[in-house]
């Protein structure tokens, strides 16, 4: 009886250790989003585990949102879809009632020294420089979001050679194709503020109108911070639904 070739604490259940191992492979970039991972059978043969145990490990990773199973086809690395996430909070609707793809309108893209707050969020060295983008998100010619984006220069230098104006409306695909950086997860913090002059003018608000502020830190598969952004949106268009059980 051959001992299964799995690293990790041998006191943990086998399906746990397999899940950990696969998660590690994912982090290390063994497969890219959209790729198929080995089938239950292959994994069972590789590891010497029973099919059911392998299945349990995969179920765990599906639960965590890392994998996706398709009956008859295989198990795939999930491609995280983001730019819908932000907008699920808002009642933004296009004139015809469909859910809109907000257009990006770049105001500025420069190299700058990040504030201490941003630097710590991005875990940058003290001397590091950053690329910063200011832009609007526009629906039907109405500005609905104002955004401030910060990226570490070393990873994203290729962006400066690009004409962002004619690039697409979504940044994460550009990060991927132009800079080889894949955003795999993110944390968001949502707060409410009263609009300052700049934001008020940007969004076309009256004085002292409340705004929603969303700070997002996006990370790669291995957990290193890739992008920090702060978005301002009209609070009167905001609503968040949740179910408690």
- Applying CB under 8 A, does 238 fall inside the site for a copy of itself? yes
What is the three-class DSSP state of 229? strand
Query: Which of residues 7, 73, 116, 166 is near DNA by CB under 7 A?
Result: 73
Query: Which of residues 61, 174, 199, 212 is near a copy of itself by CB under 8 A?
Result: 212
| Distance of alpha carbon 149 from alpha carbon 134, whole angstroms | 6
Query: Which of residues 5, 13, 35, 162 is near DNA by CB under 7 A?
Result: 13
What is the three-class DSSP state of 239? coil
- Applying CB under 7 A, does 20 fall inside the site for DNA? no
Query: Which of residues 64, 154, 196, 222 is near a copy of itself by CB under 8 A?
Result: 64
Nearest one of 71, 62, 82 to 216, comparing CA atoms: 82
| Distance of alpha carbon 245 from alpha carbon 228, whole angstroms | 33
**In this complex, which beta carbon is closest to a copy of itself, that of residue 133 or of residue 205?**
205
Residue 226 contact partner, candidates a copy of itself, DNA, none, CB within 5 to 8 A by sort of partner: none
Q: Which residues pair with residue 130 across a beta bridge? A: 112, 152
What is the three-class DSSP state of 218? strand
- Applying CB under 7 A, does 61 fall inside the site for DNA? no
**In this complex, which beta carbon is closest to a copy of itself, that of residue 98 or of residue 239?**
239
Tokens 């299964």 -> residue: 4
> Nearest approach, Cβ of 81 to DNA (angstroms)?
20
């Amino acid at each position: 009886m051959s001992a299964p070739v799995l690293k990790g604490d041998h006191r943990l259940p086998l399906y746990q250790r397999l899940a950990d191992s696969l998660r590690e492979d994912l982090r290390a970039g063994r497969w890219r989003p959209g790729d198929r991972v080995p089938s239950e059978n292959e994994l069972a043969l590789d590891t010497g585990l029973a099919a059911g145990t392998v299945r349990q490990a995969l179920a765990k990773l599906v639960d965590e949102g890392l994998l996706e199973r398709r009956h008859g086809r295989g198990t795939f690395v999930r491609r995280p879809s983001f730019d819908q996430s932000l907008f699920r909070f808002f009642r933004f609707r296009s004139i015809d009632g469909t859910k809109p793809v907000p257009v990006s309108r770049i105001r500025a893209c420069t190299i700058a020294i990040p504030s201490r707050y941003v630097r710590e969020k991005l875990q940058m060295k003290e001397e590091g420089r950053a690329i910063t983008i200011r832009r609007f998100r526009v629906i039907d010619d109405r500005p609905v979001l104002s955004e401030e984006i910060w990226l570490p220069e070393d990873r994203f230098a290729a962006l400066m050679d690009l004409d962002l104006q004619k690039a697409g409306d979504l940044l994460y695909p550009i990060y991927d194709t132009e800079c080889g950086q894949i955003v795999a997860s993110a944390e968001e913090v949502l707060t409410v503020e009263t609009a300052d002059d700049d934001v008020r003018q940007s969004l076309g608000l009256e004085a002292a109108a409340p705004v929603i502020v969303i700070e997002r830190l996006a990370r790669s598969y291995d957990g290193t911070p890739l992008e920090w952004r702060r978005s301002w949106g009209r609070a009167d268009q905001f609503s968040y639904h949740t179910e408690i059980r």
